[in-house]
Structure 1
Amino acid sequence: MAIPATVALNAYARAAGMGGGAAMPQVGAVAKESSGGSFGDFLEKAISETVDTGKVSESRMASTAAAKDTSLVDVVTAVSEAETTLQTVVAVRDKVISAYLDIMKMPI
């Protein structure tokens, strides 16, 4: 099953902490960092957005199962978006762990 590019881009944007995925930064644009933000804050935001995406997908599935006014296409899109977001977060986690292990292997 192929995931539409827009769903993947929106999920990646949310996982990268760029907001709700509504707008992607332009190539070559300078990212504006908040002066008080830390890596821990970034991770907390990314995880909360991943959880929110999963909740939206679950609510759409529940409303469809209850025969409310929800399109099956919306449900499939929400589920694939949640899946892509989770895969992105897992990939970032794996890279962070790999970098940590590389740093731990460095001689002092």
Structure 2
Amino acid sequence: MSTASIASNAYQMAARLQQQARAAEDAGAKPQAVDFGQMVQEAVETVVDQGRKADDKAVGLIEGRTDVVDVVTAIAETEVALETMVAVRDRVISAYEEIMRMPI
């Protein structure tokens, strides 16, 4: 998955959340709570799938079925996805620490 497709997935998820919020407003109901845990789980599964694809490409290179360029590209894409996930994790932890420092 390239950086563009990771960004595309993020935009699609945001658009889906906006559509759900609009549908709830149109129906006159309370806005639905966003399941943050499920969003994180989907993001982690995406990173894991990227890692598996990179592993498959590496095995394919050893077996002579895959080109070196494909393996390097898959590994780079996995690295970008993992770095993005780590950056998001760091931001969530930072936000949590900020909330914990707030006086009650």
**Structure ID, larger Rg:** 2
Partners of 2:80 and 2:3 in 1: how far apart? 6
Displaced runs of 4 or more, over 4 A: 34-37
- Are 1:80 and 2:80 counterparts? no
Structure 2: stretches of 5+ with no match in the other structure: 21-31
SS of the counterpart of 2:16? coil
Picking from 49, 67, 70, the partner of 1:71 is: 67
Q: Percent identity?
A: 37
Letter in 1 for 2:99: I
Tell me the number of residue pairs that the alignment of Structure 1 and Structure 2 aligns: 91
Per-residue deviation at 1:107?
Answer: 0.3
Q: Is the 8 A contact 1:11 1:84 kept in 2?
A: no
For residue 17 of structure 1, report the CA deviation from its aligned partner: 7.5
TM-score by length of 1: 0.73
In structure 1, list runs of 5 or more residues that go unmatched.
1-5, 20-29
Do the aligned partners of residues 89 and 50 (structure 1) sit closer, same or farther apart at CA in structure 2, a change above 3 Å counting? same
Q: CA deviation at 1:64?
A: 0.4
1:67 is displaced (CA, Å) by 1.4
Q: CA deviation at 1:31?
A: 1.9
Aligned residues: CA RMSD: 2.3
**1:26-41 → structure 2 map (5 Å cutoff):** 31-33=15-17, 34=20, 37-41=34-38
TM-score w.r.t. length of structure 2? 0.76
Matched-pair contact (CA < 8 Å) for 1:8–1:81: yes
Structure 2 distance, partners of 1:47, 1:17, is: 17
Rounded to whole Å, the distance in 1 between the matches of 2:11 and 2:81 is 12
In structure 2, how many angstroms separate the alpha carbons of the residues matched to 1:74 and 1:36?
41
Q: Residues 44 and 77 (structure 1 numbering): CA distance in 2 closer, same or farther, change over 3 Å?
A: same
